[in-house]
A and B are shown apart, each in its own frame.
Chain A
Amino acid sequence: MARAEAPETAPDPTAAAEAATLEVPPELVAQSLGEWFRAWLTRIRSGDSGVLPVILALVIITIVFQAISPHNVFLSAGNLVNLFQQSAVFIVLAMGELFVILLGEIDLSIGYAGGVGAAVTVQLVQPATTKWPWWAAVLAGLLVCVVIGALQGTLVTRLRLSSLIVTLAGLLIWQGTMLIVLGLAFSGYPSLAGLDSNRQVLYNLMNGTIDPVISWIGAAVVVLAIAALLWFGDGRRRRSGLVAPPVSLTLLKIVLIAIVATSVVAICNINRAAFGTQEGVPWVIPIVLAVFAVWMTILQRTRFGRYVYAIGGNPEAARRAGINLAAIRTLCFIICTFTAGIGLLLYASYLGGMSGNINGGQLVLYAIASVVLAGTSLFGGRGKVIHGILGGLVIGGIYNGMGLLGLDVRWQFIVTGLVLLVAITIDSLSRRSATSGSAARV
């Protein structure tokens, strides 16, 4: 229970101070953009590169697949929108898995746990049987996911079972449950394709688009809101002498966000149909952004989020601070499967129905790979919601690009496995160098 006691020898103070300066995040001490940039380079050279590798990976994937895909179709509007849609499932699953990984735990069941929720939703809206309104069906499906998360979380936290084993059992149990739910009312699989407006709503989660003009207006509103938050937030902190980035850095962030938003809307607003018109931002993009915003706020701005990081960093310190570890941990498992429920609902929408053939095991591995290769540590305590988006895009990019090349699922498995291996190796190595650094320091 008690952790290792502090050693009794005093360190060499100067060496420790030098080591420390390397690891201070640049935005904390820089007064100008140039200074910030230099500090950032120093930090990268010392091995802590943040999200840089995953962004590089995105760039490389884009260049390679653009170069080798038939007719250079990778960067076409139609394919990019498809890529966003495919990635959305990985992204949402990854953002859920993050909560459990931050604790240093794992949830292998989310593919099928979410699958049970999606199956319930899709069954409930079937016009031939229950005919529930779509929103009630969605709530019911997500509620099922919450119950599953609570069950698994309770087993892990109260009975102190290993989350790996509990959720591995869950992977099997929920796959079976999902197949039972799918087989209930029909001999075939329930579909979302249909002319009734109720099912159409669910079908449109992934396939529906927002009018191009409204897309522009919506993007402008979102960018302005984020810009205002950043500008006034940083400004207030700067004025009251608190730690804040230089003005130029705040501006740079706002400009980057504006560029990304503009590019995405511009791409989506290109007519991507071979015949007729198909244009506008798919609904799934604002849905993913909403999940992102809510989960990020919860992790960065609430007590609960702070405690998640604290437990991941040092559970004993969290316990001594009076934090209710069991409650926080259980809640993380609930959030994880709840989010998976959203992810699988999007997947069902993408497929136009719910199928017993979905590969929940593959989905969970893609979700874990997404956050880990973007910089989240499997050892807990380190990771961000944005990692889900960046990593999910990388995985989605590989998945999409290999599909374009006509490489089938066998090669997708192998390449994704290799990517995961690389990501985990980087995680372990950086952790090892970090701990050996701190051992020298203490």
Chain B
Amino acid sequence: MGQVIKDSPAAEPRFKARGVDKHFGPVQALTQVDLDLYAGQVTALCGDNGAGKSVLTKCIAGIYEIDHGQFFWEGNPVHVRSPRDAARLGIETVYQDLALADNLDIVQNMFLGRERLRSGLLNEDDMERAATKTLADLRVTTVRSIRQPVASLSGGQRQSVAVAKAVMWNSKLVMLDEPTAALGVVQTKMVLDLVRRLRDRGLAVMVISHNLNDVFEVADRIAVVHLGRLVTQGPASDFDRQSVVDYMTTGASSRSGPRTDADGATSGTR
């Protein structure tokens, strides 16, 4: 479905969603969503509050099962039914609510579900070393001790831990759901730098953000969700601020924008 977009990479997207529907009771959260995420590219997912960005992220992460549609991983159809399935493919997620256990310390949170063992028991030394290294790589230097419970961290520090938790695995696709929402200027810059570094390492990166400055700063591609529909996606150079805002608020734009790839996605253009 849909023609290949001009000047998008010729390669197959690392991840594709086609015709994804998701509803919660009477609420239709996602309708016929098609999304492409490319290796070595940052895709910004934009949309108003309640548009369905987080639901889409959680579907890809295996938290919610989709009602209809199909995911493709490097061209092959895949089923992602649980977080473990997603992790096995190399999909990591920084959730909007961060999904950290307050009563566990930083190391324990970073390795939750994937603890290293030595003769059947937890190998704390090994995990602490790896976590320390990851945080140092991310230049997270403000925490007093890597063994302090997450409950004692500030909002920015928690965010950093959640990001570190997602990038310390050999992941191939990292999704960040509003990673800078709780951050100050310096830490926002740090996260955006990190996003670029992940892209340069060849990962596919999806960033959700309300902040159009951030979006235009890091995004190679932009996709916009409006009321559960993916109304447009394409190279960032095809958009300007006004067109993104138009898509976010009305689902259409009369100004510049990419030629749509999904049939009917922009047919609502008035």
Q: Is the CB of A381 within 8 A of B103?
A: yes
**Which partner residue on chain B sits nearest A10 by CB separation?**
B184
A226 CB, min distance to chain B CBs, angstroms? 17
Task: Give the interface residue-count category, chain A.
Answer: 35 or more
Q: Is the CB of A10 within 8 A of B152?
A: no
Sampled A-B contacts (6; CB under 8 Å): A6-B96, A6-B97, A16-B154, A25-B149, A306-B104, A310-B104
Known A20-B144, A24-B152, A322-B83: A6·B98 in contact at CB below 8 Å: yes
From 114 to 173 in chain B, residues with beta carbon under 8 angstroms from any chain A beta carbon are: 114-115, 117, 120-122, 125, 128-129, 142, 144-149, 151-158
Counting CB contacts under 8 A, is B181 at the interface?
A: yes
B85 CB, min distance to chain A CBs, angstroms? 9
Counting CB contacts under 8 A, is B89 at the interface?
A: no
**Residue from B152, B153, B156 having most chain A Cβ neighbours under 10 A:** B152
Known A23-B152, A243-B145, A306-B108: A319·B103 in contact at CB below 8 Å: no
Counting CB contacts under 8 A, is A323 at the interface?
A: yes
**Which partner residue on chain A sits nearest B128 by CB separation?**
A242
- Could you tell me the distance between the alpha carbons of A214 and B122 in the complex, rounded to whole angstroms? 34
- Could you tell me the distance between the alpha carbons of A21 and B63 in the complex, rounded to whole angstroms? 34
B21 CB, min distance to chain A CBs, angstroms? 18
B164 CB, min distance to chain A CBs, angstroms? 15
From 13 to 65 in chain B, residues with beta carbon under 8 angstroms from any chain A beta carbon are: 54, 58, 61, 63
Counting CB contacts under 8 A, is B261 at the interface?
A: no
Q: Is the CB of A303 within 8 A of B145?
A: no
From 48 to 105 in chain B, residues with beta carbon under 8 angstroms from any chain A beta carbon are: 54, 58, 61, 63, 82-84, 87, 93, 95-104
Counting CB contacts under 8 A, is B212 at the interface?
A: no
Counting CB contacts under 8 A, is A272 at the interface?
A: no
3 residue pairs, one from A and one from B, having the closest CB atoms:
A321-B113, A16-B154, A313-B101
Q: Which of A21, A309, A322 contacts B84 (CB 8 A)?
A: A322
Q: Is the CB of A442 within 8 A of B182?
A: yes
Q: Is the CB of B87 within 8 A of A322?
A: yes
- DSSP class of A's interface residues: helix, strand, loop or mixed? helix
- DSSP class of B's interface residues: helix, strand, loop or mixed? loop
Q: Is the CB of A6 within 8 A of B154?
A: no
**Which partner residue on chain B sits nearest A310 by CB separation?**
B101
A40 CB, min distance to chain B CBs, angstroms? 15
- Could you tell me the distance between the alpha carbons of A7 and B120 in the complex, rounded to whole angstroms? 40
Q: Is the CB of A17 within 8 A of B142?
A: yes
Chain B proximity mask over A24-44: 1 for CB below 8 Å, otherwise 0: 110011000000000000000
Counting CB contacts under 8 A, is A185 at the interface?
A: no
Q: Is the CB of B84 within 8 A of A11?
A: no
Which B residues lie within 8 Å of A2 (CB)? 54, 58, 97
Q: Which of B83, B120, B147, B182 contacts A321 (CB 8 A)?
A: B83
Q: Is the CB of B129 within 8 A of A242?
A: yes
Q: Is the CB of B112 within 8 A of A301?
A: no
Which B residues lie within 8 Å of A237 (CB)? 125
Counting CB contacts under 8 A, is A260 at the interface?
A: no
Q: Is the CB of B182 within 8 A of A6?
A: yes
Which B residues lie within 8 Å of A165 (CB)? none
Q: Is the CB of B156 within 8 A of A5?
A: no
Apart from the given pairs A2-B54, A7-B182, A20-B157, 4 other A-B contacts in the complex at a CB distance below 8 Å: A8-B182, A22-B152, A24-B144, A24-B148
Q: Is the CB of A441 within 8 A of B103?
A: no
**Which partner residue on chain B sits nearest A21 by CB separation?**
B144
Which A residues lie within 8 Å of B192 (CB)? none
